[in-house]
Structures are given as C-alpha cells and as structure tokens.
Structure 1
C-alpha cells in the first residue's frame, strides 16, 4: 500500500492535526492574553477538538508500544502555571461526573487549566509523532490518541467546556424556590 493511502493521511486525521496544532500553539503563546479573550477562544477550540477527535478513524497498530513523549513534566508544569495565572480565581470548578465522586463525601474540585493541559499533552504528543512521517509511528500514535480520547481527553473536553461556559457568562442560579 502506498504510504499516502494509509489511514493516518485521511482527511479526518489531517483536519484533526490542523486543529490540534493551532490549539497547542495558542495555549503555548497565551500567557499575555486577557482572561476573557482567552476563555472566549478556548470556548471555541474545545468543541471543535472534541468533534474532530470523535471523527478520527480507527487504526490498528502492531507496535502497541510506548511512543516518546514530546511534552515533558517541566513543559506541562510551565503551561499549567501560565494558564492558572490567566484564569486566577476562575480556574477551579466543581465536577459531578468525575469518577472519584462515588468515593468522595465532599465535592470534587477540578481545574480548567489542568484539564486544558491534559488535552494539550495528548494532542501535542500525537502531533510530534505525526510529524515523523513514518507510517508505523503514525499508526501507533493514532491508536494511542483514539484510546486516550475514549478514556481521558474526550472526557476532559466535555468537562471543561461547561466550566468555561460558566466562567464566561458567570452563570448563577438566581431563581427563588417557590
């Protein structure tokens, strides 16, 4: 099979790569953004990333090994600090759909910046592997990305979008019980 016919070069994957690259680049350069501008842009990125991620084709990999991680712990922590600095007091939110909620007697608090960094890490690692241009590496990276979408970053997208919406519109329940 011609390498360009590989599923890794499908329209869906190429579109995902374009959106993921733009998202990662935006987060990396967002440290000077105003909170409202940042939230507004991320509010638009997250549903698009989720949509493009849900359209990715299945890909089998014979390798089933670990790929090199492009995002180091230092990179992750620097981005986390930068995003937390932008969001400030709007960073934390209560999460009711967290798997840990069933074991907790207190509310589970999550962080918008941490969820964005988790999404960033999976997308950036995929992009790094994709850039290799090697079909076997792309297949393994796509398999890992799909698996991670189902288990982690897809959930993070769904979770963080609600928190971003609330931070943008400062939605509060002002209705009085009748």
Structure 2
C-alpha cells in the first residue's frame, strides 16, 4: 500500500474537496452573497491543501474520468443561475501561449472545472 495515499495532507485535501463538491452539487439553499462568501473561504483552502500534497509520478491509465458531462453542466448551470448577471467572464492565462491571445470563460464554468 502506498503511504502517500494515507498521508495526513492527502486525507485533508480529500476532505476539503468532498465539502466543495457537496456544496457545488446543491446551491439551492444559498443566496448569491452566501455562495460568494463560502467560495471566498473554500477556494483558498483548496489551494492550500493542494500545495501541501506529497509529490508523486502519475502512471498512465490509473486515473479515471469520474465527472460526466451531464454532472459538469448541472454544476456550471447551478452557479450560472445563482450568479445571474454577476457571472463574469474571467481571463484565463495560457501558460504555453506565444500569440498573446486572451481566453475567457464565465466564472460558473471555472468553478465547475474545479
């Protein structure tokens, strides 16, 4: 058994990620300002927990795609509905871009991508 799987930081990352997914799957009880407030706390925490993960070599074929397009669209639509006019288009920096093209995406899609 790989000890990195049960590393403290890995378990904490999975716990925070589970909370984020549960939140994203049912936004209906929350007002837009509450959604924003929760994201304001959760997103930096996810970033921190990700930065603390132990490093490993990814092996081909081990990771499965577990989010269907239907679920992704439902989550993106939930954020889009919640934010309404405030679903801003955000710049997405291209790491490998040499032509300085600006790519944008609605905030709802960026949050669903997480």
How would you bin the TM-score normalised by the shorter chain?
Answer: 0.7 to 0.9
On the 8 A contact 1:93/1:111 being kept in 2, the answer is: yes
Q: Which residue of 1 aligns with 2:16?
A: 19
Residue pairs, 1:1-178, within 5 angstroms: 3=1, 6-61=3-58, 63-65=59-61, 67-95=63-91, 98-99=93-94, 102-104=100-102, 108-119=103-114
Higher gyration radius (CA): 1
Gaps of 5+ in 2: none
Per the alignment, in what secondary structure is the counterpart of residue 89 of structure 2?
Answer: strand
Greater relative contact order structure (CA < 8 Å, 6+ sep) = 1
Q: Which has the higher helix share?
A: 1
TM-score (norm 2): 0.86
TM-score (norm 1): 0.57
Gaps of 5+ in 1: 120-178
Per the alignment, in what secondary structure is the counterpart of residue 30 of structure 1?
Answer: coil
Q: How far did residue 66 of structure 1 move? A: 5.1
C-alpha distance after superposition, 1:103-153 (max 9, x if no partner)? 25xxx433111111100xxxxxxxxxxxxxxxxxxxxxxxxxxxxxxxxxx
Per the alignment, in what secondary structure is the counterpart of residue 56 of structure 2?
Answer: coil
What is the CA RMSD across the aligned residues, in angstroms? 1.9
Distance 2:4 2:77 in 1: 36
